[in-house]
Amino acid sequence: MAGIGFALRQLAARDSLNAGLRSQLHAITVTSGPWLLTVLALGIVELFAREPLGQDAYRVFSSIIVYNFAFSLVLAAPIVMVVTRRLADMLFARDVSEATGMLMGSLATVFVIQAAVAVPFYGFIVDLALEERLLAFSCFLLVGGIWLVSAFLSALKSYGSITAIFAVGMSAASALSVWLAPEHGSVGLLAGFTGGMAVLLFALIARVLAEYPGPAIRPFAFLPAMLGYWELALTGLLFALGIWVDKWIMWFAPGQLVVAGTMPTQPTYDSGMFLACLTMAPGAAMFLVIVETRFFEAYLRYHRAVAMHATSQEIARHHGAILDVLRTGFRQVAVLQAVVCYLAILAAPGLIGMARGGAELVPTFRFGALGALCHGLLIFVVAVLAYFDLRRDLLCIAALFLALNGGLTWATLGFGIGYAGYGYFLAALLSLSFAYVIAVRRLLQLPYVTFIANNRGLR
């Protein structure tokens, strides 16, 4: 699944002044597209539509968007994890004849699962106008589809078209929302944003279908894999829950704001954490362009040596190359993330002011930036473990992150709003430490893992 990383590495190596910058911008779009799109679109809408629309109408709109992204990610994550693994297996076997069918079948499955949750919630629980209910429901399905289709993007090499699609989607969502808001209020905001999401989803689907032009055969053949890869499915679910559990706890903390009758939110915490999580984007881009491509090459050489019955000395040499690549890559990403985090903490008041936030967001943003530093490195370690099919280890890490983020966020509520985000930071730090220890142990014992622990014949 590292295909687009090689294309971006070639772009960065070109002899031009802006090649490296273009490569990083494309990588940020691929790794952080849906979430980056949402933050930027919401920022533009708030800048141009909040005052003429009014505070209450804007809060309804922003709360619906936050709910849609949160719960669509949780519901889609198990399917996204299994579909990603299935697509990787197809690419390894050089047979992608079922990729189109899997895309169509998995989209249908995600839509059905999400509809089962969204219909009762938006149909009977929240207090919204009929138009708002229908638009919120449509947006919920579209966002879930974007999460799923994004799983196919890292296997593509047309980075330019992917960046263009996200730019067009963000522009459409922002422009339509700002244009419709003065006359139609929150309904206009929702209609514009939903229209932009539709443009984005259908354009991404078209791009994936252009890459895999075959017929849509066996669309639901991936469903049995949900059982075979149940650890991956459960890992995806637990990680998605872990990402959002601290926000959900804060929604019910003192200072909550209830929107549409039954939608609790915590605008201060949500805004600070969303802005802080943007600091993960540079490290994710470096991992995609530099670290994963180098690691993937060393990974292939190692496994090809094993498949070709190489001597133990040759296997040990390739094993050492993997360790060297990962040691250097982890240090590079850690240094970059630490620098970005440090600068973000120093510039926190100015950044919050540019985002039109109050001073109460600054402590949350700073703890969130520290948490994002550890969370980004945790994703690095998890991605490496996934390459070696260590599913039980992934499951343990995901469960620990969920438990720590929920427990520590709840435990720090009594410290006051000045410590909001401290639980997330500690959870990410402790989870990273646990994952790092596991990864080091497994990688040092890689020949044993290859020939014994992951040998299904011996099992």
Residues 190 and 60 in one domain: yes
Which of 227, 243, 262 is at the close of a domain? 227
Nearest to 279 by CA among 203, 204, 395, 372: 372
Contacts of 150 (CB under 8 A, 6+ apart): 33, 34, 80, 204
What's the pLDDT tens digit per position in 285-316? Answer: 777 776 777 888 888 889 889 888 889 899 99
Chain centre distance of CA 198 = 19
Confidence check: pLDDT of 72 > 90: yes
pLDDT for the residue numbered 158: 64
pLDDT for the residue numbered 133: 94
Confidence check: pLDDT of 247 > 60: yes
- Read off the pLDDT of each residue in 372-395 and give the average, rounded to a whole number: 91
Tokens 């229209």 sit on residue: 195
What's the pLDDT tens digit per position in 2-25? Answer: 444 444 455 445 555 555 555 556
Nearest to 26 by CA among 6, 8, 38: 8
pLDDT for the residue numbered 2: 47
Confidence check: pLDDT of 260 > 90: no
pLDDT band at 323 (very low <50, low <70, confident <90, very high): very high
What's the pLDDT tens digit per position in 269-279? Answer: 888 888 888 88
What number of residues does the chain have? 459
Q: Which of 32-41, 52-61, 143-152, 304-313 has the lowest mean pLDDT?
A: 32-41
Which of 227, 250, 265 is at the close of a domain? 227
Q: Does 258 map to a domain?
A: no
Confidence check: pLDDT of 38 > 50: yes
Q: How many Å apart are CA 333 and CA 164, to the nearest integer?
A: 26
Residues 139 and 78 in one domain: yes
Confidence check: pLDDT of 458 > 70: no
Q: How many Å apart are CA 29 and CA 98, to the nearest integer?
A: 27
Q: Does 49 map to a domain?
A: yes
Residues 175 and 286 in one domain: no
Q: Which domain holds residue 402?
A: 276-448
Contacts of 21 (CB under 8 A, 6+ apart): none
Q: Does 295 map to a domain?
A: yes
Residues 144 and 43 in one domain: yes
Residues 189 and 331 in one domain: no
What's the pLDDT tens digit per position in 175-202? Answer: 888 888 888 888 888 999 999 999 989 9
Q: Does 171 map to a domain?
A: yes
pLDDT for the residue numbered 254: 82
Residues 319 and 222 in one domain: no
Residues 370 and 300 in one domain: yes
Q: Which of 276-280, 426-430, 434-438 has the lowest mean pLDDT?
A: 276-280
Residues 223 and 284 in one domain: no
Do the Cβ atoms of 358 and 352 come closer than 8 Å?
Answer: yes
Confidence check: pLDDT of 172 > 90: no
Q: Does 268 map to a domain?
A: no
What's the pLDDT tens digit per position in 397-416? Answer: 999 999 999 999 999 988 87
pLDDT for the residue numbered 24: 57
pLDDT for the residue numbered 443: 92
C-alpha distances (whole Å) from 338 to each of 283, 304, 332, 369 are 9, 36, 10, 10
- Read off the pLDDT of each residue in 128-149 and give the average, rounded to a whole number: 93
Return the exposure string of 26-35: e unless at least 16 CB atoms fall within 10 Å of the residue's CB, then b: bbbbbbbbbb
pLDDT for the residue numbered 256: 83
- If one counts the domains in the chain, the total is 2
Question: What is the value of pTM for the model shown?
Answer: 0.89
Q: What integer best gives the mean pLDDT of the chain?
A: 85
Tell me, letter by letter, the H, E, C secondary structure of the chain: CCHHHHHHHHHHCCCCCCHHHHHHHHHHHHHHHHHHHHHHHHHHHHHHHHHHHCHHHHHHHHHHHHHHHHHHHHHHHHHHHHHHHHHHHHHHHCCCCCHHHHHHHHHHHHHHHHHHHHHHHHHHHCCCCHHHHHHHHHHHHHHHHHHHHHCCHHHCCCHHHHHHHHHHHHHHHHHHHHHHHHHHHHHHHHHHHHHHHHHHHHHHHHHHHHHCCCCCCCCCCCHHHHHHCHHHHHHHHHHHHHHHHHHHHHHCCCCCEEECCCEEECHHHHHHHHHHHHHHHHHHHHHHHHHHHHHHHHHHHHHHHHHCCCCHHHHHHHHHHHHHHHHHHHHHHHHHHHHHHHHHHHCHHHHHHHCCCCCCHHHHHHHHHHHHHHHHHHHHHHHHHHHCCCHHHHHHHHHHHHHHHHHHHHHCHHHCHHHCCHHHHHHHHHHHHHHHHHHHHHHHCHHHHHHHHCCCCCC
Confidence check: pLDDT of 437 > 60: yes
Residues 202 and 340 in one domain: no
Q: Does 244 map to a domain?
A: no
Which of 227, 244, 265 is at the close of a domain? 227
Q: Does 88 map to a domain?
A: yes
Residues 216 and 293 in one domain: no
The residue with greater pLDDT, 331 or 55, is 331
- Read off the pLDDT of each residue in 90-108 and give the average, rounded to a whole number: 88
Residues 181 and 72 in one domain: yes
Encoded tokens for 446: 């890689």
Return the exposure string of 131-156: e unless at least 16 CB atoms fall within 10 Å of the residue's CB, then b: ebbbbbbbbbbbbbbbbbbbbbbbbb
Chain centre distance of CA 71 = 13
Encoded tokens for 371: 């948490």
Q: Does 269 map to a domain?
A: no
Residues 287 and 201 in one domain: no
